[in-house]
Structure 1
Amino acid sequence: MSQPDVSRTGAEATDEIVVSPREVRRIAGAAFVGTALEWYDYFLFGTAAALVFNRLFFSELDPTAAILASLATFGVGFAARPIGAFVFGVLGDRIGRRPTLILTIVLIGLATGLIGVLPTYADIGIIAPAALVALRLFQGLAVGGEWGGATTIAIEHAPIKQRARYAALVQVGSPVGTLMSSGAIALVLLFPPETFDAWAWRLPFLAAFPLLGIALWIRMKVEESPIFEDLVKAGDRAKVPAAQVFTRAGGRLAVATMAAFLGVGGFYVMNTFVVSYTANTLGLDRQIAVNATLVAAVAQIVVILLCGRLAERVGPGRVTFWGGLATAAAAWPLFLLIDTGSPFAIVFAVTAGIALLTITYAVTGALLSELFPPELRYSGVSLGYNIAGALSGFLPFIATWMISLSGESVSWPAVLILAVVALITAAGGFIGERLRVQDKEIVRSSH
């Protein structure tokens, strides 16, 4: 990739607007809060898929098949995300970042809340899992447009040299969403098992309705991106921006997908897969892995904030490269610890693994946003991230399936998957940083 495959010079004049620091912090904070509530909804489904949906929505299957069906339902949401990225990318680059983000928050909040009132297989038979899949699809469609929009509106209010820190602030929404969802599940797991299965599991999903009201109020106060407003005035909006990402910036889209792969896929290996594996394969208390994700979420927040600042010094691509290599090297030792069955070892391994892959996740927004010009940015960032998400969603299913084929309670498939994903992301970071440097040289020479 010696030459970039998308011209950026036409958009560079509008790629930084002067906004007061106070306004930048307010917009970034609003993007963070809304995203945290979105990820609460999305992660909640993953935890429930690992712990309860197999028994309540796929009870006609044998235990192993029920677990696989539940994890496959979890993966369906990821398959829908690129479609959502395309649709909401077009809306975000055509009608604006703000109205699109309001729409995504409403869709995901409603879908999550309705899961909380959904009858189970024992109540309505096959309609129950079908309805669960449909609601998961709506979740996936909405999330497909959420993260890219939140990142775009945050960095487009920020000075170019400080974009990495504000993009990282949006990323903090992920561990906060994890804390909220895992915390909610941990609380309802305190009920007796029969009470949890009967109705208590519904409470975290029903909480999505009041949380939607909070998120909607916050999003309504967010102002439109000044860079988008300049694009409207200049008449630089693409007709079908998401399609032009493929035709004008296909190589960059591939790099963006590679760079985002570990932050999404690795997380679900260390979170959703480990929760299911420890509870269903190793036969351990469900609370152990859930508690591990809570500790890991706190570590994530620290790593994200530190790496956001580091990316401003050395570049987000380099940080992605280093984080990918470190995670690949640690994959085998981490799962050796998990296989011991020791609660302390599991908490340590999950925390360390998620902290390592978060090095790349922390700077994903900063790297992806610099790969695309403003008129394609919402679409490009959303598509890159969510194609990675679509590839990632079935990783817990694949790892569980491979273990079932081996007939042994060992986690080598997860080791292999995590290491390969990490190396792909390291390559994406390396190429992405070269493209960033090349773009800056082109802009410098044009001036």
Structure 2
Amino acid sequence: MAEDRKDGAATVTAADARKVAFGAFVGTALEWYDFFLYGTAAALVFNRLYFATDDAVVATLAAFASFAVGFVARPLGAVIFGHLGDRIGRKRCLVVTVTMIGIVTGLIGVLPDFTTIGLAAPLLLTLLRLLQGVAVGGEWGGAVTLAVEHAPPERRGRYAAMPQIGSPVGTLLSSGAFLAVAQLPPGSFDAWGWRIPFLAAFPLLGIAVWLRRRVEESPLFEKLLEEDARASSPVREVLVRAWPQLAVGAGSTLLGVGGFYLITTFAISYGTTQLDLPRSLMLGATLVAAAVEIGVLVAGGRLAERYGAWRVTVGGGLASALTAFPAFWLIDTRSAVAVVVGVTLATALLSVPYAVSGALLSELFPPHLRYSGVALSANLAGVVSGFVPLAATALLAAGGGSSLLPALLLVGIALVTAGAGAVAPRMFAEQDPVTTRG
């Protein structure tokens, strides 16, 4: 339990801080498992079973367009849950978001395809994706805020990285689930096999809700309640008074989200359709990359504590820009080992700024606007990121099937993040007494 000190800081025991961070991690892992499932299915299933057309490129574009809808909806979730999180509490909102996305994902697993219900199939699928986006839009910002506000100040970097680790774990679970069902005969895979990973969201939801309900509310938010220091309209205040921080925050998170989807969701489609590589190889490369990413995220959190989150963001952005072309050249060799190395290298480097994005965004916004500011920043970047696979596919077609233009897109995204990281220190909010270790 949190107690107040004479200097105004809230005291939280190390055990409580770890419990909160673990709860944030588990909930975020489920959120990203559900969200990433759609991206993998868009590349392997939805383009054939829900967006039926004789033109494979058009079908893929349509599937990725529905994929992008989830990202367009994320700012709406950030507005709704950011307002509620800064008004009624972080914990309550996080229970709602994890429940919402678990139910929606399970429903995708029972949705009839185009041959069964016709045009209603892609329309309903897109609607469910939109609801997924609303839930995720409120999830990550709240999880990061709750973890940071329970963390000892000197360890915010590692605690802020905990929700980030949910991303590669979600990737491992979703890609691993699809890799398993991909071993089924093609007929069985299309008929029912691909649905199993989506239906697994129901039992996973029960675990996540149980953990979320056991987590204590943010001690800093409770102090804001006591002092009646909450913003009356936190989202409006962020948009009107903190829009420079909002822009910088969005730019700093662009690589970790948009770059990730370029090197995973787009790369899976590119490898299987353009290079005729096996589905199992591309999914396997994603699994290896996700496993390596976990280590990168842990290390990134420690680096943020030592050198500052903004410096780590700049370094990761520049490194990603330098290795974008080599990563795609490795994939283009069609060699299994080279493909795995290319995907893993690109994912590892773009994960460096992603590891510290929670810590960086938390420094940009004061406590009474933090949930809204963090959520809006990340999800504005998410809107752009949702169109990255679509844009990369269009660039691929424009370039005659060459990976040159998609790789150049990755360079541009990486440089935006590096630039935002360099500007961020000028906009940091005044330090607040979040917690000290008891």
Which interval holds the TM-score relative to the shorter structure?
over 0.9
Q: Is the 8 A contact 2:271 2:282 kept in 1?
A: yes
Structure 1 residue 60: Cα displacement: 3.3
Distance 1:434 1:362 in 2: 21
Equivalent positions of 1:13-412 (< 5 A) are: 16-406=9-399, 408-412=400-404
Structure 1 residue 341: Cα displacement: 1.3
SS in 2 for 1:18: strand
Distance 2:146 2:405 in 1: 38
Amino acid aligned to 1:350: V
Q: Is the 8 A contact 1:16 1:160 kept in 2?
A: no
CA deviations on 1:107-126 (whole Å, 9 max, x unpaired) are 10011000000000000000
Structure 1 residue 62: Cα displacement: 1.8
CA RMSD of aligned residues (A): 1.4
Distance 2:54 2:120 in 1: 15
Distance 1:398 1:377 in 2: 32
CA deviations on 1:53-74 (whole Å, 9 max, x unpaired) are 0110011352111011011111
Distance 1:289 1:424 in 2: 27
Distance 1:337 1:409 in 2: 16
Match of 2:423 among 405, 421, 431: 431
Distance 1:405 1:353 in 2: 23
Amino acid aligned to 1:354: T
Structure 1 residue 239: Cα displacement: 1.2
CA deviations on 1:214-257 (whole Å, 9 max, x unpaired) are 11111111111010000011111111111110111110001100
Distance 1:25 1:250 in 2: 32
Structure 1 residue 14: Cα displacement: 9.4
Distance 1:134 1:64 in 2: 22
Amino acid aligned to 1:178: T
Amino acid aligned to 1:325: L
Distance 1:382 1:130 in 2: 27
Structure 1 residue 435: Cα displacement: 3.0
Structure 1 residue 439: Cα displacement: 4.2
Q: Is the 8 A contact 1:113 1:205 kept in 2?
A: yes
Q: Calculate percent identity across the aligned residue pairs.
A: 55
Of the structure 1 ranges 170-179 and 54-63, higher mean CA displacement relative to structure 2 is found in 54-63
CA deviations on 1:171-197 (whole Å, 9 max, x unpaired) are 111101100000000000010111101
Residue ranges of structure 1 left out of the alignment (5+ in a row):
1-12, 442-447
Structure 1 residue 433: Cα displacement: 2.7
Distance 1:399 1:206 in 2: 30
Distance 2:244 2:149 in 1: 23
Amino acid aligned to 2:308: G
Q: Is the 8 A contact 1:282 1:409 kept in 2?
A: no
Partner of 1:6: none
Q: Is the 8 A contact 1:79 1:140 kept in 2?
A: yes
Matched, 1:418 2:410: yes
Distance 2:282 2:306 in 1: 36
Distance 2:245 2:276 in 1: 44
Distance 2:277 2:237 in 1: 49
Q: Is the 8 A contact 2:366 2:430 kept in 1?
A: no
Q: Is the 8 A contact 1:14 1:227 kept in 2?
A: no
Q: For this pair of structures, how many residues does the alignment match? A: 427
Relative to structure 1, is the Cα distance of residues 313 and 422 closer, same or farther in structure 2, using a 3 angstrom cutoff? Answer: same
Relative to structure 1, is the Cα distance of residues 56 and 309 closer, same or farther in structure 2, using a 3 angstrom cutoff? Answer: same
Distance 2:8 2:209 in 1: 28
Q: Is the 8 A contact 2:32 2:170 kept in 1?
A: yes
Relative to structure 1, is the Cα distance of residues 334 and 14 closer, same or farther in structure 2, using a 3 angstrom cutoff? Answer: farther
Structure 1 residue 440: Cα displacement: 5.7
SS in 2 for 1:235: coil
Distance 1:127 1:61 in 2: 19
Amino acid aligned to 1:219: R
Q: Is the 8 A contact 1:165 1:312 kept in 2?
A: yes
SS in 1 for 2:12: coil
Structure 1 residue 424: Cα displacement: 0.4
Distance 2:389 2:219 in 1: 40
Residue ranges of structure 2 left out of the alignment (5+ in a row):
1-5, 433-438
CA deviations on 1:328-378 (whole Å, 9 max, x unpaired) are 011111111111111111100000000000000000000001100000000
Q: Is the 8 A contact 1:242 1:380 kept in 2?
A: yes
Partner of 1:5: none
